[in-house]
Amino acid sequence: MIAEAFDTFRTIALALTGWIIFGATIAATLLLAALATGAYGVRAVWRRTAGPSWQRGPIRARVYAARRTRRSTARTRPLWSHSQPLDYEEAA
C-alpha cells in the first residue's frame, strides 16, 4: 500500500513537472516575442521622433544629398517611342 502511494505520488510529481516545464517554455516564448515586438516598436517610434534621416548625422546627410542629385535611371518613355509618330493622322 505504501509502494502504491509512493508510485502514485511519483507519477503525479512527474506529470506536474512536465506541465511546469511546458508552461515555462510557452511563457519564455511569449516573453521573447513580446520583447522583440516592444523593441521593434521602440525603434520605430525613435526613428519617427528623430526626424528625417538627413538630420540624424553628417554621413546620412551626405548620402541623402548624393541620392537626390543623381540623375534618375528610370525610363520616362518606352524604348519604341522614338520610332513612333507623335501625331496619329497616319494611323487613320
pLDDT at 46: 81
Please check the confidence at residue 92 and state whether its pLDDT lies above 60: no
Q: CA of 58: how far to CAs of 53, 64, 65, in Å?
A: 10, 10, 10
* Sequence-ordered list of residues with C-beta below 8 angstroms from that of 50, at least 6 positions apart, any chain: 56
Q: Between 85 and 64, name the one with better pLDDT.
A: 64
pLDDT of residue 85: 59
Rounded mean pLDDT, 52-59: 72
Share of the chain above pLDDT 90, in %: 38
Which is higher by pLDDT, 63 or 11? 11
Average pLDDT rounded to a whole number, residues 53-59: 72
